[in-house]
Amino acid sequence: MSQVTTSPATAAFKASVRPERRDIGLRRRYASERRFRLYGLAAIAFGLLFLFLLLSSVVSKGYTAFLQTKITIPVEFSEQVIDKDGERATDPKVLMTANYPVVARNALAKVLGVDPGDRAAMREVGGMISDSVRVQLRDLVVADPSVIGRTVDVAILAHGNVDSAYKGQIDLGVDEKNRKVSDRQVGWMNQLAETGALAGHFNTGLFTNGASSRPEAAGLGVALVGSLYMMLIVLVLSLPIGVAASIYLEEFAPKNRFTDLIEVNINNLAAVPSIVYGLLGLAVFVNFAGFPRSAALVGGLVLTLMTLPTIIIATRAALKAVPPSIRAAALGLGASNMQTVFHHVLPLAMPGILTGTIIGLAHALGETAPLLLIGMVAFVADVPATPLDPATALPVQIYMWANEAERAFVERTSGAIIVLLIFLILMNVGAILLRRRFERRW
């Protein structure tokens, strides 16, 4: 320490003498603290790295799923092909069964200038168009039969292979025999792209279409609606049941062995593997109660069972966190137990309850295993009108697409994962906003 210079003004004071410095291990303590911080930083960096890898891989693979290659060409709805015998006025079946792919193929061949007599070339031309064109054109004609005999510009879905090739996902350096698009098709594709006839469009079909074995026509529509139904069922059932059960257990039930037992069981139920709930749902709802298989109703019920313990535990924790002084204040004023709970305790616990509920819902939204058991892993092409109709769910759809072999399904799988993640993020944001709103009221 520096010497204290004795100036006249401070001469009256005498600096106290510092005692021998003790070793209290400061260096060691600070070193261990630094070390611990490093561990923590490393752990977080590790986690962030994996999150980044996951997101970047999913997004880089999946973003193309939101674009779909379409070929816009003038299509001649030739009566010769659609309704050769002129029977459509008497037999509506004719329009349903007409050979629409030929109509589309002819139209494309005309644009490309391919000789209709060259059967091999014509087959390759047909291979550029999605098989779903049959449904697309059929719906167009059935909706408005007057187009027959006229020529109309139609955006036809390109075949999945062309779609992949256009997005650069097919390695054109590979020998022609070993890839799914021929050199000629690639040439046509480039020719069409130059004129602007072939281009990528936003893929609305991804959100509206049902299941399809043709990737370019497959969409999440059924899964979205199915998941929506199930979330509504889970919310409507598990929130009131869970909150009522927690309030009773926490505020009204006597504390004895029986309630202890219930509490232990609820905690255990939260840890039961979800597939067990699937089995339970299969046994109770499908086999015993006779609800239809693959229905969103059954899925919702199973997910409700699965979510209830989570909600009950979260709600009880939120109720416990309400300071006892608030209860005492209300009781001291002469509020009944019920009034105390509903006027004071429950509103204060609401943010916690909502958080627990939304986390439970998010958990349910991402759940796959129990849904597989109750048959929601089905090929459902039509969007379910009611929760009793067969449906699938988002994660199940991802699971199904991931099992498909075609290249175009890879991007669809990632696209579906992105959709699911966006939904989860939206739910969490919703939870945060709701909590903010509730908290601001006080």
**75 membership: H or E segment, kind and range:** strand 67-76
Only segment of 83-91, 241-249, 283-291, 342-350 that touches another protein (CB under 8 A): 342-350
Residue pair 313/356 in contact (Cβ under 8 Å)? The answer is: yes
150-169 residues in contact with another protein (CB under 8 A) are none
Closer Cβ to another protein, 97 or 339, answer by number: 339
Q: Is 65 within 8 Å of 203 (Cβ atoms)?
A: yes
Query: Position of tokens 């410095």?
Result: 21
Nearer to another protein, 25 or 332 (CB): 332
The DSSP-derived string for 143-170 is H-GGGTTSEEEEEEEBPHHHHHHHTT-S
Residue 290 three-state SS: coil
CA atoms within 13 A of residue 131's CA, in its CB half-sphere: 6
Smallest gap from residue 263 Cβ to another protein (A): 15
Element (H, E) at 198: strand 198-202
Which residues, 216 to 275, sit near another protein by CB under 8 A?
A: 254-255
**C-alpha R_g of the chain:** 33
Q: Does 287 bind another protein (CB under 8 A)?
A: no
Q: Which amino acid is at 325?
A: S
User: For another protein, which stretch binds (CB under 8 A), given 85-93, 139-147, 333-341, 412-420?
Assistant: 333-341
Q: Does 442 bind another protein (CB under 8 A)?
A: yes
How far is residue 285's CA from residue 289's CA, in Å, rounded to a whole number? Answer: 5
Of 374, 293, 406, the closest CA to residue 65 belongs to: 406
* Closer to another protein by Cβ: residue 282 or 330: 330
Of 417, 396, 398, 402, give the one whose Cα is nearest residue 60: 417
321 binds another protein (CB under 8 A): no
- With binding defined as CB under 8 A, does residue 53 bind another protein? no
Binding segment for another protein (CB under 8 A), chosen from 40-48, 96-104, 108-116, 328-336, is 328-336
- Region 348-407 residues binding another protein, contact defined as CB under 8 A: 348
State which residue, 53 or 328, has the beta carbon closest to another protein. 328
CB 218 within 8 A of CB 286: no
CB of 348 to another protein, least distance (A): 7
Note whether 330 binds another protein by CB under 8 A.
Answer: yes
The amino acid at 386? T
Which of 327, 355, 406, 424 touches another protein by CB under 8 A? 327
Is there a contact between 203 and 67 (Cβ–Cβ < 8 Å)? yes
| Shortest Å, Cβ 214 to another protein | 58
Q: Does 435 bind another protein (CB under 8 A)?
A: no
Report the half-sphere exposure of 75 (CA within 13 A, side-chain side). Answer: 26
**Stretches 59-67, 88-96, 184-192, 324-332: which one binds another protein (CB under 8 A)?**
324-332
Contacting residue, 34, 123, 343, 437, with another protein by CB under 8 A: 343
16 binds another protein (CB under 8 A): no
119 or 441: CB nearest another protein: 441
Q: Indicate the helix (H) or strand (E) that contains 271.
A: helix 257-271
Sort residue 294 into left (φ over 0), alpha (ψ -120 to 50) or beta.
left
Q: Exactly one of 326, 369, 378, 432 binds another protein (CB under 8 A); which one?
A: 326
Can you tell me which of 180, 184, 344, 363 binds another protein, judged by CB under 8 A?
344
**Sheet of strand 198-202: strand arrangement:** 151-157, 67-76, 198-202
Nearer CB in complex with another protein: 22/441: 441
Q: Smaller CB distance to another protein: residue 273 or 323?
A: 323
Decide if residue 331 touches another protein (CB under 8 A).
Answer: yes
- Beta carbons of 357 and 312 less than 8 angstroms apart: no
User: Of 97, 339, 386, 403, which one interacts with another protein (CB under 8 A)?
Assistant: 339
Using alpha carbons, select from 239, 93, 118 the residue that is nearest to residue 184.
118
328 lies in the binding site for another protein (CB under 8 A) = yes
Stretch that binds another protein, among 80-88, 197-205, 320-328, 365-373 (CB under 8 A): 320-328
Closest by CA to 372, choosing from 351, 402, 392, is: 392
| Other CB atoms within 10 Å distance of the CB of residue 399 | 18
Size of the site for another protein (CB under 8 A): 20
What minimum distance in Å lies between the beta carbon of 395 and another protein?
Answer: 39
Q: Which residues bind another protein (CB under 8 A)?
A: 254-255, 323, 325-336, 339, 343-344, 348, 442
